[in-house]
């Protein structure tokens, strides 16, 4: 084996490992142009795995961003929930109006019941009439009072039915809001758990792979140093005029 062949092989070995003019992309595409040891082929595979891990990490980060956007849309106040709150406010106002009407009607009934006492106080001469003379008037007043009472009672019952219906709808709306909040909390917990699991798994795998790759790169550099020292020793001990040979000069000065 000639010294020139040794120099060319050493130069090719150094170019395939560290020379910036021959990158890993070119080596991985045109492997037939280079001669590799088992360790160097393993190094190339590790570099390709690093690129694959980087691509997977980019895809996972994009998926996480999409998931965060979806979660932000989920926990933003939805339109139907706003509509539920609006309906609840309307029902509360309707209940307040019904209570006000009932107060007015109760006051009217109280006034009618006390009308006779007020009338006797204002027109005391009518109280001096005989019972026979007052009987037709009492009958008319009684008929009017009964009619008015029945009307007011009917309106009160109707208002009470509307009040019960409004209360039922209000309870259903409140239950729907409670269910919606419960569903949102469950969704938030699921997204948080998935995000935590995803971060832990991807982080531990990437860390182990990067550490292993760093170790392999360090081993390759150490091997490169050994090869360089051996070749330099061979050249110096051979007695060849290395100063006149460009290849040998590059090997000694690298």
Q: What is the pTM of this model?
A: 0.30
SS3 43: helix
Asked if residue 226 is part of any domain, the answer here is yes
Last residue of a domain, one of 201, 229, 244: 201
Whether 45 and 156 map to the same domain: the answer is no
Q: How confident is the model at residue 76 (pLDDT cuts 50, 70, 90)?
A: very low
Whether 114 and 195 map to the same domain: the answer is yes
Average pLDDT of the chain to the nearest whole number? 67
pLDDT digits (tens, 9 = 90+) for 134-151: 556 666 666 777 777 778
Asked if residue 33 is part of any domain, the answer here is yes
Asked if residue 73 is part of any domain, the answer here is no
Whether 27 and 63 map to the same domain: the answer is yes
Question: What residues make up the domain containing 63?
Answer: 3-68+202-253
Alpha-carbon distance of 179 to 239, in angstroms, equals: 90
Q: Is the pLDDT of residue 208 over 60?
A: yes
Asked if residue 114 is part of any domain, the answer here is yes
pLDDT digits (tens, 9 = 90+) for 192-205: 888 777 666 655 67
Whether 87 and 173 map to the same domain: the answer is yes
pLDDT digits (tens, 9 = 90+) for 91-132: 777 777 777 777 766 666 666 556 555 555 555 555 555 555
Asked if residue 84 is part of any domain, the answer here is yes
Q: What angle do CA 142, 148, 151 make, to 5 degrees?
A: 140
Whether 173 and 136 map to the same domain: the answer is yes
When divided into structural domains, the chain yields a total of: 2
Whether 140 and 84 map to the same domain: the answer is yes
Whether 124 and 221 map to the same domain: the answer is no
Helices 246-253, 131-238: inter-axial angle, 10-degree rounding: 130
Q: Is the pLDDT of residue 176 over 80?
A: yes
Whether 100 and 139 map to the same domain: the answer is yes
Whether 109 and 85 map to the same domain: the answer is yes
DSSP 88-143: HHHHHHHHHHHHHHHHHHHHHHHHHHTHHHHHHHH-GGGGGS-HHHHHHHHHHHHH
Q: Estimate to the nearest angstrom the gap between the alpha carbon of 14 and the chain centroid.
A: 51
Last residue of a domain, one of 157, 183, 201: 201
Alpha-carbon distance of 52 to 216, in angstroms, equals: 17
pLDDT at 20: 42
Q: Estimate to the nearest angstrom the gap between the alpha carbon of 146 and the chain centroid.
A: 65
Q: Is the pLDDT of residue 222 over 50?
A: yes
């Amino acid at each position: 084996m000639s010294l020139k062949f040794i120099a060319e092989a050493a130069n090719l070995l150094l170019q395939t490992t560290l020379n910036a003019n021959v990158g890993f992309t070119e080596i991985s595409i045109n492997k037939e142009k280079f001669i590799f040891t088992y360790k160097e082929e393993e190094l190339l595979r590790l570099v390709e795995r690093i690129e694959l891990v980087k691509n997977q990490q980019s895809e996972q980060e994009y998926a996480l961003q999409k998931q965060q956007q979806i979660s932000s849309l989920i926990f933003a106040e939805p339109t139907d929930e706003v509509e539920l709150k609006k309906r609840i406010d309307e029902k509360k106002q309707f209940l307040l109006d019904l209570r006000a009407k009932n107060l007015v009607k109760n006051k009217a009934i109280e006034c009618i019941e006390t009308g006779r006492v007020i009338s006797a106080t204002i027109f005391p001469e009518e109280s001096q009439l005989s019972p026979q003379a007052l009987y037709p008037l009492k009958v008319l007043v009684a008929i009017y009072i009964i009619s008015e009472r029945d009307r007011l009672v009917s309106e009160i019952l109707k208002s009470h039915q509307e009040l019960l219906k409004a209360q039922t709808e209000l309870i259903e709306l409140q239950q729907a809001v409670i269910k919606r909040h419960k569903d949102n909390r469950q969704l938030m917990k699921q997204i948080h758990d998935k995000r935590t699991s995803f971060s832990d798994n991807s982080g531990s795998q990437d860390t182990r792979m990067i550490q292993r790759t760093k170790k392999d790169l360090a081993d390759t550099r150490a091997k490169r140093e050994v090869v360089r020292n051996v070749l330099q020793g061979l050249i110096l001990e051979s007695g060849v005029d290395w100063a006149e040979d460009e290849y040998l000069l590059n090997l000694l000065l690298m």
